[in-house]
Amino acid sequence: MVDTLGFGLGLRAEHYNAILEECPPLDWLEIITENYLVPGGKPLYYLDKIRDRYPLVMHGVSLSLGSTDALDWDHLKQVKALASRIEPAWISDHLCWTGVNGINLHDLLPLPYTHEAINHVVAQINQVQEFLGRQILIENVSSYVAYKQSEMTEWEFLSEIAKRADCLILLDVNNIYVSSYNHKLNPYQYLDGIDRNRVQQIHLAGHSNQGDYIIDTHDSPVIQPVWDLYAEAIKRFGAVSTMIERDANIPDLNELINELNHARSISDKMLKEKSVA
């Protein structure tokens, strides 16, 4: 595992100039991999400049590790080329499927939690890691449906895949809260079921509460129950690289930095309590 990078944000085009002109107090930035795979243009121009100032990590949405389709090797070649260019601290993608039979549904769809699915995903991850020459991180997605075929809990499924594929985990605390709310699960039990030695990164984000269910929208600030869950995550996993995602209703950069500083204060408090205990 890589040592913690500290506290970062998702790099968004709305903040390119502010990041370069103001040099805000950020420890690192996460890019959406697919936004930088087209040769040349404005995104890569800014990315190269920002890379000179901040460590970067790559976060993808297109590997579709759970699909029965073959891996997209052309896409993986592009990912590997971008990694060679910016030298990210790590590369991540989602534990999901995004399409089948060559059709991309443009969504991060959950898998049935079965032994058969574990075998399939582990084989996919092994191929990806061998091709990239490095471990990857897999992220738990938010879910709105469950499969009758499931044979275990989501946290058992995620942990077993990480163990067998010898990959790491990007733990999205907001997604744990969203899925637990939607499926009436205990989010703290979820945290307790994750191998503390596999968690490399944490995501925090806002969501949209529709009453009977929650949608993971990344369009609002982190709510208190998610902050509480994050505090418990730090208590369990220790100092973990933490970032805030914001993909809609994107505010001024300073507003996000203030929110990130709240995450920093929670982490500092929990780590101090842990060291005293």
Residue 110 CB: number of other CB atoms within 10 A? Answer: 22
Q: DSSP labels for the chain?
A: -PPP--EEEE--GGGHHHHHHH--S-SEEEEEGGGG-SSSHHHHHHHHHHHTTS-EEEE-S---TT-SSPP-HHHHHHHHHHHHHH--S-EEEESSEEEETTEEEEEEE-----HHHHHHHHHHHHHHHHHHTS--EEEPPP-S---TT--S-HHHHHHHHHHHHT-EEEEEHHHHHHHHHHHT--HHHHHHTS-TTTEEEEEE---EE-SS-EE----SPPPHHHHHHHHHHHHHH-S-EEEE---SS---HHHHHHHHHHHHHHHHHHHHHHHH-
Residue 1 has pLDDT above 80, yes or no: no
Looking at the DSSP bridge assignments, the partners of residue 91 are 58
Mean pLDDT within 89-117: 93
Mean pLDDT within 35-54: 95
Cα–Cα nearest to 91, from 51, 119, 61: 61
Mean pLDDT within 130-157: 97
Mean pLDDT within 110-136: 98
CATH number of 7-276: 3.20.20.150
pTM (2 d.p.):
0.96
Residue 3 banded pLDDT, cuts 50, 70, 90: confident
Residue 40 banded pLDDT, cuts 50, 70, 90: confident
Per residue in 45-97, pLDDT (tens digit) is: 999 999 999 999 999 999 999 999 999 999 999 999 999 999 999 999 999 99
28-32 vs 7-10, strand pairing mode:
parallel
Residue 194 has pLDDT above 80, yes or no: yes
> What percent of the chain clears pLDDT 70, i.e. is strictly above it?
100
Per residue in 201-256, pLDDT (tens digit) is: 999 999 999 999 999 999 999 999 999 999 999 999 999 999 999 999 999 999 99
C-alpha distances in Å from residue 123, one per residue of 67, 120, 130, 167: 12, 5, 11, 12
Residue 102 banded pLDDT, cuts 50, 70, 90: confident
Residue 276 banded pLDDT, cuts 50, 70, 90: confident
Residues 176 and 187: their CA atoms lie apart, in Å, by 6
Residue 107 banded pLDDT, cuts 50, 70, 90: confident
